[in-house]
Amino acid sequence: MTTPDSLAAAAAKAPGATDPTARQFAGERPAFAPELLAPPPAFAPEAARRDVPALHRSVNGQPLVWLDNGATTHKPRQVIEAVAGFYGAGNSNIHRGAHTMAREATEAYEAGRAAVARFLGAASPDEIVFVRGTTEAVNLVAQSWGRANLGPGDDILVPVLEHHSNIVPWQLVAKETRARVVPVPLRPDGQIDLDAYADRLSVRTRLVALSQASNVLGTVPPVAEMTALAHRYRARVLVDGAQAVAHFPVDVRALDADFYVFSGHKLFAPTGIGALYAKPELLAAMAPWQGGGNMIESVSFDRTDYAPVPHRLEAGTGHIAGVVGLLAAVTWLTGFDREAVAAYEAGLLEHARQALAGVPGLDVIGDAPERIAVLAFTLAGHDPAAVAAWLDRDGIAVRAGHHCAQPALAHYGLDSAVRASLALYNTPEEVDRLAASLRRMQRSG
């Protein structure tokens, strides 16, 4: 069984685990400063757990084990207090009204935009549009950019791995514009087949829509390389970061993504808030997809002038408290050493793989070398829904079903699987409880 020590060792070997000290002193060993050569402090999940009240409740008489982070994450008290504080004392609509509270709410909202821009490595807050979440962001791009830029005979490349939110909006706009949605197949281990991807790219390709981390297999594809290749064909690339943002640092400019989308609720923030990043030249050319207040310069029955982006794409009153919560969540998460968090999660994933390997009849689906801490599996002789119900009786929350990724499961001849999705606040002991409960289920017949 893996101990926390071996976790740390696995973490050190993990992809993305870089040692800043080693980087700083590459090639030299200053004997006068041995403390600088020590490894960076490892991340301890307790540092995050103590902030998250929901993790301390019990379910069905057992301490909760929350392994459904792919569906949504729990919220640290910093987020809960920020939202409560906004409604308790700061509540006002924004961008209008010449009073103090409107000004304060506007400042908080725009501070949230600036924080998201920094979080994603965008050049300016003006490149960030607030939306309800990933789904709305993809639909916004499909309906605004897509309608203007797609036409008959154009291809939209979508890996089979994608969440339905990154498939169906493209099917809708393809139908309207007579473009085609072209699936990019998977290899048996759950990686995108890059040869097939290269084959399918052509001058007809207008867009590649791919996720930076799969919600069902955990696969992390080589997004920067795939984007560079797409750009050789002058195709645009939309990156779905819904599952990535909570797990490792993102830099939209290093990826050279044209669009990047994510949901706050998978990032320890409230539901109903998320963001779209787009390159400024693309945003500037995007027509409104919804009309209403907040997105106009002036309105008359003869002529309506729109506000500049990003406001042009944010019709109506937004989720102001959600932005306040998102700002608190980003501040909370970035308060940790994110490389250390990624290394910790990689070690935790390795621990989970070893623990689940000891469960008779358990098959993990997919085995991509680069992945986030998500494990989908089947258990011989048991329906995934029955597995989830059994685990729930032990206080362990996992998801069972198609995970809104039916084509990815169909690739394995499945229509349903169990999924354990881990976050920085999960521990090896929780993973051991999962494995022990599954072993008991197998023994019970």
For 380, counting Cβ atoms within 10 Å of its Cβ (0-12 exposed, 13-18 middle, 19+ buried), the class is exposed
The pair of three-digit structure tokens given for residue 214, joined into one six-digit string: 């799969």
Distance (Å, rounded) from C-alpha 160 to C-alpha 410? 9
Distance (Å, rounded) from C-alpha 108 to C-alpha 102? 10
What mask, x for binding ligand PMP by CB under 6 A, covers residues 118 to 157? ---------------xxx----------------------
Shortest reach from residue 70's CB to ligand PMP, in Å: 6
Q: Which of 211, 219, 378, 437 touches ligand PMP (CB under 6 A)? A: 211
Q: Choose among 166, 217, 212: nearest CA to 189.
A: 217
Bridge-partner residues for 318, per DSSP?
A: none
240 lines the binding site for ligand PMP (CB under 6 A): yes
Shortest reach from residue 12's CB to ligand PMP, in Å: 28
Task: Considering only the stretches 160-168, 230-238, 350-358, 394-402, report the one whose residues sit in contact with ligand PMP under the rule CB under 6 A.
Answer: 160-168
Bridge-partner residues for 401, per DSSP?
A: 417
The pair of three-digit structure tokens given for residue 371, joined into one six-digit string: 């992945």
Q: Which of 163, 311, 351, 399 touches ligand PMP (CB under 6 A)? A: 163
Task: Considering only the stretches 6-14, 184-192, 236-244, 432-440, report the one whose residues sit in contact with ligand PMP under the rule CB under 6 A.
Answer: 236-244
242 lines the binding site for ligand PMP (CB under 6 A): yes
What mask, x for binding ligand PMP by CB under 6 A, covers residues 165 to 184? xx------------------
Q: Which of residues 38-67 bind ligand PMP (CB under 6 A)?
A: none
- Provide CB contacts within 8 A for 297, sequence distance 6+: 305, 306, 307
| 3 state SS of 421 | strand
With respect to ligand PMP, which residue has the nearer C-beta, 48 or 242?
242
Residues annotated as part of the active site: 404
Distance (Å, rounded) from C-alpha 383 to C-alpha 209? 32
Q: Choose among 172, 176, 311, 150: nearest CA to 236.
A: 150
Shortest reach from residue 180's CB to ligand PMP, in Å: 22
What mask, x for binding ligand PMP by CB under 6 A, covers residues 248 to 267? ---------------x----
Distance (Å, rounded) from C-alpha 441 to C-alpha 384? 12
Task: Considering only the stretches 142-150, 161-169, 339-347, 413-421, report the one whose residues sit in contact with ligand PMP under the rule CB under 6 A.
Answer: 161-169
Distance (Å, rounded) from C-alpha 247 to C-alpha 339? 9
The pair of three-digit structure tokens given for residue 337, joined into one six-digit string: 């050493």
With respect to ligand PMP, which residue has the nearer C-beta, 2 or 219?
219
Shortest reach from residue 8's CB to ligand PMP, in Å: 29
Distance (Å, rounded) from C-alpha 151 to C-alpha 131? 26
The pair of three-digit structure tokens given for residue 12, joined into one six-digit string: 């050190």
Q: Which of 139, 177, 215, 227 touches ligand PMP (CB under 6 A)? A: 215
Q: Which of residues 66-105 bind ligand PMP (CB under 6 A)?
A: 70
Shortest reach from residue 252's CB to ligand PMP, in Å: 16
Question: Can you list the alpha helix ranges (DSSP code H) found in 121-262?
Answer: 134-141, 147-149, 168-177, 194-200, 223-232, 252-255
Q: Which of residues 280-339 bind ligand PMP (CB under 6 A)?
A: none
Binding site for ligand PMP (CB under 6 A): 70, 133-135, 163, 165-166, 211, 215, 240, 242-243, 263, 404
